Amino acid sequence: MVARHATLKFNAETADAAEQPQEILRAFLRASALRRFQSKDAVVISPLSTCSLASGRYHARVFRVALAAAVAWTTIMGASEARAQIGGQTLTWVGGAGINWSTRQNWSPAEIPSRGDDLVFPVSTFIIATNDLVDLSVNSITISDGYTIGGLALEITGDPGLLVQTPQAVTVALDLTLNRDPIHVASNDGTLELSGHVTSRNFVKQGAGTLVLSGANDINDLVGEDGCGVIRATNALALGASLTGNIEIGQNCTLRVEANTTLDKPVVLNGSGAPGSTGALVITDGVTLTEQLDLQLNSPATVSVLSLATLSLPNTALPLTLNSALTLNVAGAALISRSIAGTGDLIKEGNGPLTVDKINSYTGQTIIRAGRFDSNGAVQANSPVVLDGGTLSGAGTVGPISATATGGTISVGRVGGDRLDTGSLTMTRLGGVVGIGPAHHRRCAEPYQRQQAAHHHRADLLERHVPKPVP
């Protein structure tokens, strides 16, 4: 393996003897860039000529004294002071001298940003800024106006790494590397768009504002903390192309997927989404979830599939586990082709169809409030189905059926074809209305409480199971 070298440029003959330890340390810090230097690196000293530490070729007395003093000085002053030797100050953007970060007059104090600095972009009339500094790494960036920031790639290492404190729209168009650093959009009305390439092992969104990920990114774990507002993914690879990692959405937080996307990482949902949204997960295009979709215990969650959008959960060995109630609000279409387990309820809302076509073991209720629930698989015999305004259809097996005062429809589909096996049919309240039939539903009023034995409803035989309609 070829050894990597950190070159220390230090002229031992011209440096004052008292300053030699500090000069060696400053050179060491700059060459190692603090956090990037590793003990396995080969260290080369460059005084008037280059020589290797390992070979001992150097002014022996000067080196031994200077190096020992430099090591002791590093220990005493600590990492924070060491960082201060190569950066670590707060620079505030004042602009007015162009848009480049490398122009001293654009900053207060008049310094060029360097490693470890905290950059502040206040309310200003100069809201276009460009990073033209190569390999810049800063501690944090705080933005308080509607800036557009572009330019060369940037690394952020602090916590929070990027803080937006304005209701104005902010765009950061450069490539970002984030090291465990939260993105915090504080204002409820604020929007931050990251349109460059984001690299992060643990991407954390905080604050009630909106974050837009419009680039193709390399993100492993994505965490929306409780109260994180809305995360909009408008690129098919916005949430990362990596097959590793997880997506976890907390309470009062929404992940809105706005591109045709295949998510190859587990998704964990909590709650019904950010205030004003329609769910913890909102689909506006075609989305396929190839890994687990999990619900936290005692944390009911809502998934919304908007008009013309689709959601597909293809068959895998891992079930959809209902640790809590899951509400699927489907205006487009949704297909669950994997088994459903757990004790939570499955609630169908929205006018679009939801199709479930595997043998399932969940024991909670199936509540159909709107649209069509196609049961083409099997549900546990003790898992009740409640008609509360929607339609139960399909060619599978379901448990006992009951209806609220709102009522609903049982539709089997093709005449002379499919068969829907059900448990008992119970009308629990006066005035409940249930229509039973094939393509054209017959609506029948039940003026009394009625319970029938288990039925095998076949579309061409339904008449014998249905009481005469009330005139």
Strand, coil or helix: what is 468?
coil
Pair 137, 75 in one domain: no
Q: What is the pLDDT of residue 309?
A: 98
Lowest pLDDT segment from 14-18, 64-68, 365-369 = 14-18
Q: What is the pLDDT of residue 470?
A: 37
Pair 212, 305 in one domain: yes
Cβ-count burial 265-298 (b if 16+ within 10 Å, e if not): bbbbbbbbbbeebbbbbbbbbbbebbbbbbbbee
Does residue 81 register a pLDDT over 60?
Answer: no
Pair 176, 253 in one domain: yes
pLDDT one-digit tens code per residue, 243-294: 789 999 999 999 999 999 999 999 999 999 999 999 999 999 999 999 999 9
Q: What is the pLDDT of residue 52?
A: 39
Q: What is the pLDDT of residue 243?
A: 72
Please give the distance of CA 10 from its chain centroid, rounded to a whole number: 47
Tell me if 470 is assigned to some domain: no
Does residue 11 register a pLDDT over 50?
Answer: no
Pair 209, 340 in one domain: yes
Does residue 105 register a pLDDT over 90?
Answer: yes
Q: Which residues 6+ apart lie within 8 Å of 409 measured at CB?
A: 387, 390, 391, 392, 434, 435, 436, 441, 443
Average pLDDT over residues 117-131: 98
Q: What is the pLDDT of residue 433?
A: 52
Q: 59 pLDDT band (50/70/90 cuts)? A: very low
Q: 115 pLDDT band (50/70/90 cuts)? A: very high
Pair 378, 457 in one domain: yes
Q: Residue 28: give the domain boundaries.
A: 5-84
Tell me if 454 is assigned to some domain: yes
pLDDT one-digit tens code per residue, 164-196: 999 999 999 999 999 866 889 988 889 999 999
Tell me if 233 is assigned to some domain: yes
| Domain final residue pick, 61, 84, 107 | 84
Average pLDDT over residues 343-372: 96
The whole-model pTM stands at 0.77
Q: 107 pLDDT band (50/70/90 cuts)? A: very high
Average pLDDT over residues 41-69: 42
Pair 163, 191 in one domain: no
* Higher-confidence position of 211 and 182: 211
Q: What is the pLDDT of residue 241?
A: 76
Token pair, residue 394, equals 């399909």
Q: What is the pLDDT of residue 464?
A: 31
Token pair, residue 458, equals 């076949």
Share of residues in the chain with pLDDT > 70 (%): 69
Share of residues in the chain with pLDDT > 90 (%): 58
Pair 115, 140 in one domain: yes
Does residue 431 register a pLDDT over 80?
Answer: no
Tell me if 77 is assigned to some domain: yes
| Domain final residue pick, 84, 101, 128 | 84
Pair 144, 252 in one domain: no
Pair 95, 58 in one domain: no
Pair 73, 110 in one domain: no
List helix spans (H) across 284-392: none
| Domain final residue pick, 168, 185, 202 | 168
Pair 221, 122 in one domain: no
Q: What is the pLDDT of residue 296?
A: 85
- Please, are residues 183 and 202 in contact by the beta-carbon 8 Å criterion? no
Does residue 236 register a pLDDT over 70?
Answer: yes
Does residue 78 register a pLDDT over 50?
Answer: no
Does residue 356 register a pLDDT over 80?
Answer: yes
Pair 331, 446 in one domain: yes
Tell me if 341 is assigned to some domain: yes
Does residue 378 register a pLDDT over 80?
Answer: yes
Strand, coil or helix: what is 2?
coil
User: Domain count of the chain?
Assistant: 3
**Residue 420 DSSP symbol:** E
Tell me if 471 is assigned to some domain: no
- Among the ranges 10-14, 84-88, 304-308, which has the highest mean pLDDT value? 304-308
